[in-house]
A and B are shown apart, each in its own frame.
Chain A
Amino acid sequence: MTLLPRRALLLAPLGVAAIGGTGFWLLLNRMSEGSYDPHGVPSMLIGKPLPGFSLPGLPPSDGFSRADVVATGRPTLVNFFASWCIPCVQEAPALMLLKQQGTPIWGIAYKDRPAATTEFLHRNGDPYTRIARDEPGNTAIDFGLYGVPESYVIDKAGIVRWRWAGGLSEDILHQSLVPLLQSLA
């Protein structure tokens, strides 16, 4: 046993601690930037076709199905929302802005009573092209949804391109969503 490997062995604990510390520091940085969320669940749908569904609408209007969304042949935003969700209220202006820019937004009311949904839209504005209801929450699970609001961008071919978990803001609109929609058009 020469001296060198022994030295290396005695340095190993410091090395392990240094690597661990650096890793922690990187993650702390990412967390304060907002690019790492320990509780976030990444979407499994990106690059995959929109899952199949057929949901009832908000009376008196009809709901919609996967085929209806794909049939438009346009990049579309599918937005899960609920009247009981506070970030949904906060994201309403951003959605209204998006609507004004001409993007079709298809809304799915998650675990909500029709009357409450109507009241919510009345109060916060209705950005939706069409609205469907997912009261049992099964379609939401097929999307891999883990909270409301959640928004999905579907391209012309019906492939999911982008998912945002949480309320949309104007910043997100300008930074990622609008450029993406333009590139898909």
Chain B
Amino acid sequence: MIPELGHFALALAVVIAGAQAVLPLLGAHRRDVRLMQTAPALAIGQLVALATAYGCLVWSAVVDDFSVANVAENSNSLMPLVYKITGTWGNHEGSVLLWCLILALCGGAVAAFGRALPSSLRARVIGVLGFTSAGFLLFTLTTSNPLERVWPPPLDGRDMNPLLQDPGLAFHPPVLYSGYVGFSIPFAFAVAALLEGRVDAAWGRWVRPWTLAAWCLLTGGIALGSWWAYYELGWGGFWFWDPVENASLLPWLAGTALLHSAIVVEKREALKIWTILLAIGTFSLSLCGTFMVRSGILNSVHSFANDPTRGVFILALLAIVIGGSLLLFALRAPAMTATGIFAPISREGALVLNNILLCSICAVVLTGTTYPLFAELVFGAKLSVGPPYFQATVFPLAIPLFAAMSLGPVLPWKRAELWPALLKLWWAALIATFIGIAAALGLHAGMAALGFAASAWLIAGALAELVERTRLFRAPFATVRARFGAQPLSVWGSAVAHAGMGVTVAGIAGMSLASSTIVALHPGQDVVLGGYDWTLLALRDEPGPNYTARVADIRVSRGGDEIAMFHPSRRMFTVEKTSVTDTAIQTNGLRDLYAVLGEERDGAAVLRLHVNPLAPWIWFGALVMAVGGALSLADRRQRIGAPARRAAAIRAGVVP
């Protein structure tokens, strides 16, 4: 009964989304207030219907209703409750439904928080979201319905992929999808603006918080995914330039560019057309990222089950959504005129440079990811594009980007002189140079030294901006304190986010210095790696809820002092008949000790041991970036209300 209710709710959501796509847009076109007023109600209605549908799926999984095909294939009665719930989005059908649910959530958010928006803009934004929703819901209902029944129901489920039975991955999809789908709001704003034929500073002010929120979530989602790959896959790496990883990086790069160009729209009413295009492009890349990787065309480690018919449906859907919005862009964008004027050397100029570099990196990653397909199609040649290509092309573009990241915030708007700005950063430059030279001499690793220098430049540059704004060291203490408190949160946000990037860069540079070894040890034997003494104490078996584990007890010591006891294991999953390595990691914030248990030969265990300097900084930096974004967001929310409320008051007096 419950799955049928969910099925019905899903069908209802399709109908509501269809209405949401038509009525508000029609209303906005005809200036019919009553039709426009339906938008928020329909958005909320769709959200409720989808939440019900998803709730029914979760319910079926929790009560082990194996007559639901999706539950039978991806769950098992022995599985812990939390994985029964997270398992609902650990497969194609469920994840598509989650995707739709988050899209409905976005529509609901605009309906709930967008009361201050002009009614026609709000109707159009919600209408565009409804249009997108309707397409993907139709896709879910017709080709990927997670609530389908099987007959006869199996006695027990086939269990979830053991790799997914892990907290990091279990909670990774909702965060990542929220980031992906969050960019649907800037997209809807862009399409609505094209329909309205108007983009102004107010538009920039509305778009920015949504973009920021999506960006924070995407940053978090990517970091979670990378962290999961680091500790769960047991390869000792954190980023493999795999198509699926690149698919999440592309909207992040475009979204970061959008975040910065929207500032220019908001503050200076320039870069309007470009910002519209970026908003469309970011969501398009999100769509391609979520769905193209499921077509099986790309060679990826993390592919979902493939089905070419689904691929054609998705392609048609993407053609309508992306093609339609880009066509509208080509037709309507000429109407947008820039009013803000700025010199090449200015805050705007630096943001333009930031956009050029970010978009270049984005283009390079996109080219590298899709080039094998292009070569196959055009030249009939079979190629691989792997990490060496991305490292060789992305790093050279990232270095000038890092250079500009510290410079931009100290440049004034409109017109600036380069030299005074550089003078504000002299001590940041000095620190970066010093660290770079020291690292080059001490480590004999050029790339790592460059990375550490870039990191120091970013962190010191972020501090320099704050020092500059608060007149630290130059004004009396009281003035500094007053200025300290007077800085808007967005200033803090950007400084924190830029410093977070610096932390991540340091982590990546540190990881390039990682050392590792593979050894076969008998219990009682030891090996020395990175100045640490690793002793294998014992090998034993340990039962788990739906697996049995083989565990190695390892003592790590330095100079006789015990530093950590490690218990890396290999888990044999009884139902799936596959094994998963469970990595043991110990961190002190400055380096990770990392151990993976391999096979056993003649009583000896094969161990892969790593010492990864600064590894945790990679994800800590991403967290700092997300916090920076959230700080900025907190500020926006306060400031967005004031002018909007005033505008509403003015409108209230005038009959439209």
A residues contacting B by CB (< 8 A) are 3, 6-7, 10-11, 13-14, 17-18, 20-21, 23-28, 31-32, 36, 38-42
User: B382, A42: Cβ atoms under 8 Å?
Assistant: yes
**What residue in chain A is nearest B323 (Cβ atoms)?**
A17
| Residue numbers in B under 8 Å from A26 (CB-CB) | 377
User: B374, A23: Cβ atoms under 8 Å?
Assistant: yes
Minimal beta-carbon separation of B143 from chain A (angstroms): 14
Minimal beta-carbon separation of B362 from chain A (angstroms): 13
Contact with A along B274-299 (1 / 0, CB 8 A): 00010011001000000010011111
Distance A43 CA – B382 CA, assembled complex (angstroms): 11
Minimal beta-carbon separation of A11 from chain B (angstroms): 5
Q: Which of B300-335 contact A (CB under 8 A)?
A: 308-309, 311-312, 315, 318-319, 322-323, 326-327, 329-330, 333-334
Which one, A13, A14, A24, contacts B373 given CB within 8 A? A24
| Residue numbers in A under 8 Å from B292 (CB-CB) | 24
Which one, B277, B280, B309, B376, contacts A27 given CB within 8 A? B376
User: B334, A21: Cβ atoms under 8 Å?
Assistant: no
Distance A22 CA – B329 CA, assembled complex (angstroms): 20
| CB<8 Å pairs between A and B, sample of 30 | A6-B334, A7-B334, A10-B330, A10-B334, A11-B330, A13-B277, A13-B280, A13-B281, A13-B330, A14-B323, A14-B329, A14-B330, A17-B284, A20-B370, A21-B318, A23-B377, A24-B315, A25-B312, A25-B315, A27-B297, A27-B376, A28-B295, A28-B308, A31-B297, A32-B309, A38-B297, A38-B298, A40-B382, A41-B382, A42-B382
Which one, B299, B318, B330, B334, contacts A39 given CB within 8 A? B299
Distance A96 CA – B607 CA, assembled complex (angstroms): 47
Contact with A along B319-361 (1 / 0, CB 8 A): 1001100110110011000000000000000000000000000
Q: How many A-B residue pairs have CB under 8 A?
A: 68
User: A21, B319: Cβ atoms under 8 Å?
Assistant: yes
Minimal beta-carbon separation of B336 from chain A (angstroms): 10
Given contacts A24-B315, A31-B308, contact A18 B296 (CB under 8 A): no
| Residue numbers in B under 8 Å from A10 (CB-CB) | 273, 329-330, 333-334
Minimal beta-carbon separation of B376 from chain A (angstroms): 7
User: A36, B273: Cβ atoms under 8 Å?
Assistant: no
B residues contacting A by CB (< 8 A) are 273, 277, 280-281, 284, 292, 295-299, 308-309, 311-312, 315, 318-319, 322-323, 326-327, 329-330, 333-334, 370, 373-374, 376-377, 382
**What residue in chain A is nearest B374 (Cβ atoms)?**
A23
Minimal beta-carbon separation of A12 from chain B (angstroms): 9
Distance A99 CA – B373 CA, assembled complex (angstroms): 39
Minimal beta-carbon separation of A135 from chain B (angstroms): 19
| Residue numbers in A under 8 Å from B323 (CB-CB) | 14, 17-18, 21
Distance A90 CA – B330 CA, assembled complex (angstroms): 55
User: A7, B370: Cβ atoms under 8 Å?
Assistant: no
**What residue in chain A is nearest B382 (Cβ atoms)?**
A42
Distance A28 CA – B334 CA, assembled complex (angstroms): 35
- Give the one of A6, A7, A25, A27 with max B CB within 10 A: A27
**What residue in chain B is nearest A8 (Cβ atoms)?**
B330
User: A28, B297: Cβ atoms under 8 Å?
Assistant: yes
Interface SS of B by simple majority? helix
| Residue numbers in A under 8 Å from B370 (CB-CB) | 20
User: B315, A21: Cβ atoms under 8 Å?
Assistant: yes
Distance A98 CA – B323 CA, assembled complex (angstroms): 51
6 additional contacts, CB 8 Å, given A13-B277, A32-B308?
A: A3-B334, A13-B330, A27-B297, A27-B377, A31-B311, A38-B297
| Residue numbers in A under 8 Å from B273 (CB-CB) | 10
- Give the one of A38, A39, A40 with max B CB within 10 A: A38
Minimal beta-carbon separation of A8 from chain B (angstroms): 9
Minimal beta-carbon separation of A42 from chain B (angstroms): 5
Which one, A14, A23, A24, contacts B326 given CB within 8 A? A14
| Residue numbers in B under 8 Å from A27 (CB-CB) | 297, 373, 376-377
| Residue numbers in A under 8 Å from B284 (CB-CB) | 17
| Residue numbers in B under 8 Å from A24 (CB-CB) | 292, 295, 297, 315, 373
Distance A56 CA – B333 CA, assembled complex (angstroms): 73
Distance A13 CA – B324 CA, assembled complex (angstroms): 12
User: B329, A13: Cβ atoms under 8 Å?
Assistant: yes
Distance A41 CA – B334 CA, assembled complex (angstroms): 48
Minimal beta-carbon separation of B644 from chain A (angstroms): 30
Distance A10 CA – B292 CA, assembled complex (angstroms): 25
Minimal beta-carbon separation of B119 from chain A (angstroms): 29
Which one, B295, B312, B326, B377, contacts A17 given CB within 8 A? B326
**What residue in chain B is nearest A42 (Cβ atoms)?**
B382
Distance A42 CA – B372 CA, assembled complex (angstroms): 14
Distance A166 CA – B140 CA, assembled complex (angstroms): 34
Distance A18 CA – B315 CA, assembled complex (angstroms): 11
| Residue numbers in A under 8 Å from B277 (CB-CB) | 13
Distance A127 CA – B273 CA, assembled complex (angstroms): 69
Closest 10 CB pairs of A and B: A32-B308, A14-B326, A11-B330, A28-B311, A10-B330, A38-B299, A10-B333, A13-B326, A42-B382, A14-B330
| Residue numbers in A under 8 Å from B296 (CB-CB) | 31, 38
| Residue numbers in A under 8 Å from B312 (CB-CB) | 25, 28
User: A14, B299: Cβ atoms under 8 Å?
Assistant: no
Distance A82 CA – B194 CA, assembled complex (angstroms): 62
Distance A14 CA – B315 CA, assembled complex (angstroms): 15
Distance A165 CA – B382 CA, assembled complex (angstroms): 15
Minimal beta-carbon separation of B561 from chain A (angstroms): 46
Distance A77 CA – B120 CA, assembled complex (angstroms): 72
**What residue in chain A is nearest B377 (Cβ atoms)?**
A23
Minimal beta-carbon separation of B176 from chain A (angstroms): 22
Distance A135 CA – B333 CA, assembled complex (angstroms): 66
| Residue numbers in A under 8 Å from B322 (CB-CB) | 17, 21
**What residue in chain A is nearest B309 (Cβ atoms)?**
A32
Distance A92 CA – B304 CA, assembled complex (angstroms): 32
Distance A20 CA – B315 CA, assembled complex (angstroms): 11
Distance A3 CA – B292 CA, assembled complex (angstroms): 36
Minimal beta-carbon separation of A35 from chain B (angstroms): 11
| Residue numbers in B under 8 Å from A40 (CB-CB) | 382
| Residue numbers in A under 8 Å from B318 (CB-CB) | 21
- Give the one of B308, B318, B370 with max A CB within 10 A: B308
Minimal beta-carbon separation of A43 from chain B (angstroms): 11
Distance A46 CA – B451 CA, assembled complex (angstroms): 46
Which one, B299, B315, B330, B382, contacts A28 given CB within 8 A? B315
Distance A17 CA – B277 CA, assembled complex (angstroms): 12
| Residue numbers in B under 8 Å from A23 (CB-CB) | 373-374, 377
**What residue in chain A is nearest B303 (Cβ atoms)?**
A38
| Residue numbers in A under 8 Å from B311 (CB-CB) | 28, 31
Minimal beta-carbon separation of B295 from chain A (angstroms): 6
| Residue numbers in B under 8 Å from A17 (CB-CB) | 284, 322-323, 326
**What residue in chain B is nearest A13 (Cβ atoms)?**
B326
- Give the one of A23, A24, A25 with max B CB within 10 A: A24
Distance A40 CA – B309 CA, assembled complex (angstroms): 21
Distance A7 CA – B374 CA, assembled complex (angstroms): 27
Distance A28 CA – B284 CA, assembled complex (angstroms): 19
